[in-house]
Amino acid sequence: MSYDVTFHSISKYQLNYYFFDLLNDETLINSRVNELTSDLEEREIIKETFKSTIIPWYKNGEISEGHKITSENFNSSFSYVIACISGHLNLYFYSRNACFSLIQEDGLKKQTESFFECFSSLEGSPLAKFDTENCQMFIDNYSASGVIKNVSKAKQWLISQEPAMKQEMGDDAYEALLLALTYCEKNDLYFFEASDVITPLTNDWNTNIHNLRSKFQNNLYQPKSEDDNCGDRICFNCNQKITMIDILKAGLPNKISCSGCKERIYFNFKAFPDYIALSILMAVTLCLGFLASKYIINLDILTLRPIHIYAVVISAFILVFDIFFSTWLLKHKRVVAKP
C-alpha cells in the first residue's frame, strides 16, 4: 500500500474558527467558507461537505447507519477534512510514503506517538464526545493524524535522531518533515500529517494547490536563519512577492492585499508594542503636519487658501510616514499564516 503523505499545520484559532465553531452553528458555514477561499467552485465543495457529511456525522455520531464514530474511522472523517481545510490556510509539505505515522521501528514509533494528541482531546474540542482514544496517528489512505502541539520538542527530537530517521524515512522525506516542523515552529502552528489529500500522479487535489511545497515542484520552503528576523515576504496563496506598493495602496496594515491574487496578507504584528508604537508615531506625524501647515500659512508665501495648505502639507507628511512604515515593515516583519 502506498501513501501520498502531506505535512499540515493549523493554529488553535484557525481550528476553532473554520471547523469547531461550524459544528454547533450551521449558520456560520457560508460566511466562514467564503473567507477560507476565493475560488467559487472550492467554496461550494467545502460547503456541501459540511452540510451533507460533517454536520450529520457530528450530530448523529455515525459515519453511516450502524457505523458509529470510533477510533478506527475518526481519522478518515473529521481529521481528514481538517487537513483539507488547513491546506487553504497554511503551507503544507509533500512526502511520498514516509512520515511519523508510518514509522515501523518499534523504538522510534513509540516515541513519535507520544508527541501526538487527537483532535477530540484538545481543550474545548466539541469532538470530545466521541470515543477516540487511539487516533493519534493515521493508519489508512485518505486519513489524517492528530496534532503535535509542542512542535519545538518534536523538532529537537527529530534532529537528535537524524541518522535513524533518515534510514527509516529517506533523505527527502526527512528534509520535508524538518521543514514542515520549522514552518510550524516559526508561525506558532500545530503540526499534523495526512494521507492522500493530494495525489499528484492523478492530479487529484482536495485542498489549495498553491500552498503545496515539494521537492518535485522545486519550491521547498526556505526558512530564514535565526539571526534574520525579517522572514518571508511572499503571498502564501500565489507566492508573489509583497512590495512597498502593496502596502502603500492598503493605507492600513490590516488591509494589505496581494496584488497578484488579491488575498489578504498578514504580517506578524503584535498588539504591544507594534500597534501602540504605530499609533503614537501616526499621531506625532499628524501634529507635525499641522504645525508645519500653520508655519507656512503664517509666512504668507502661498496664494492657496489655508484649508488647502493644511490638506497638502498634512498629506505630504502622511505619505512620508507611509514610506518609512512600509520600509520598516518589509525589513523587520514577515508574512505569516492567516490567524
Q: Of the candidates 149, 178, 213, which is a domain's last residue? A: 213
* 42-51 CB contacts, 8 Å cutoff, 24+ apart: 42/88, 42/208, 46/84, 46/85, 49/81, 50/22, 50/26, 51/26
Residues 135 and 260 grouped into a single domain:
no
Burial (CB < 10 A; 0-12, 13-18, 19+), residue 118, is buried
Judge whether 63 lies within some domain.
yes
CA 242 → CA 231, 246, 256, distances in Å?
A: 12, 6, 9
Query: What angle is formed at CA 70 by the lines to CA 65 and CA 73, rounded to 5 degrees?
Result: 80
Phi then psi for 63, rounded to 5 degrees? -70, -40
* Radius of gyration of the CA atoms of the chain, in A: 24
Q: What is the pLDDT of residues 307-333, one digit of tens each?
A: 999 999 999 998 888 888 888 888 777
The three cell numbers of residue 294 are: 500653520
Judge whether 303 lies within some domain.
yes
E-strand ranges in 170-276 read: 190-195, 198-199, 204-205, 212-213, 266-267
Residues 160 and 255 grouped into a single domain:
no
Phi then psi for 136, rounded to 5 degrees? -70, -35
Residues 148 and 180 grouped into a single domain:
yes
Residues 249 and 150 grouped into a single domain:
no
Report helix, strand or coil for 68: strand
Domain span at 244: 237-339
Residues 184 and 329 grouped into a single domain:
no
Is residue 122 a contact partner of residue 147, using CB atoms and an 8 Å limit?
yes
> What pLDDT, on the 0 to 100 scale, is given for residue 238?
61
Residues 166 and 131 grouped into a single domain:
yes
> What pLDDT, on the 0 to 100 scale, is given for residue 220?
64
Q: How far apart are CA 322 and CA 114, in angstroms?
A: 49
Residues 298 and 200 grouped into a single domain:
no
Judge whether 223 lies within some domain.
no
Judge whether 28 lies within some domain.
yes
Judge whether 15 lies within some domain.
yes
CA 22 → CA 53, 145, 158, distances in Å?
A: 13, 21, 35
Is residue 197 a contact partner of residue 80, using CB atoms and an 8 Å limit?
yes
> What pLDDT, on the 0 to 100 scale, is given for residue 135?
82
Diameter of the chain measured on Cα atoms: 87
Judge whether 102 lies within some domain.
yes
Judge whether 188 lies within some domain.
yes
Residues 76 and 115 grouped into a single domain:
yes
Residues 164 and 269 grouped into a single domain:
no
Residues 141 and 44 grouped into a single domain:
yes
Count of domains forming the chain:
2
What's the mean per-residue pLDDT of the chain?
86
pLDDT in tens, the chain (339 residues): 789 999 999 999 999 999 999 999 999 999 999 988 888 999 999 999 999 999 999 999 888 777 888 888 898 999 999 999 999 999 999 998 999 999 999 999 999 999 999 999 999 999 998 877 778 899 899 999 999 999 999 999 999 999 999 999 999 999 999 999 999 998 889 999 999 999 988 888 999 888 899 877 776 666 654 333 344 576 766 657 788 888 888 876 667 887 777 777 877 777 678 778 888 998 999 999 999 999 988 888 888 888 999 999 999 998 888 888 888 888 777 776 666
Query: What angle is formed at CA 146 by the lines to CA 140 and CA 148, rounded to 5 degrees?
Result: 130
The three cell numbers of residue 260 are: 497578484
Length of the chain, in residues: 339
Q: Which of 105, 208, 182, 144 is nearest to 174 (CA)?
A: 182
Asked, as a colleague might, if the bond just before 273 is cis with ω within 30 of 0, I would say: yes
Judge whether 220 lies within some domain.
no
Residues 304 and 184 grouped into a single domain:
no
Residues 99 and 243 grouped into a single domain:
no
> What pLDDT, on the 0 to 100 scale, is given for residue 221?
63
Phi then psi for 305, rounded to 5 degrees? -70, 150
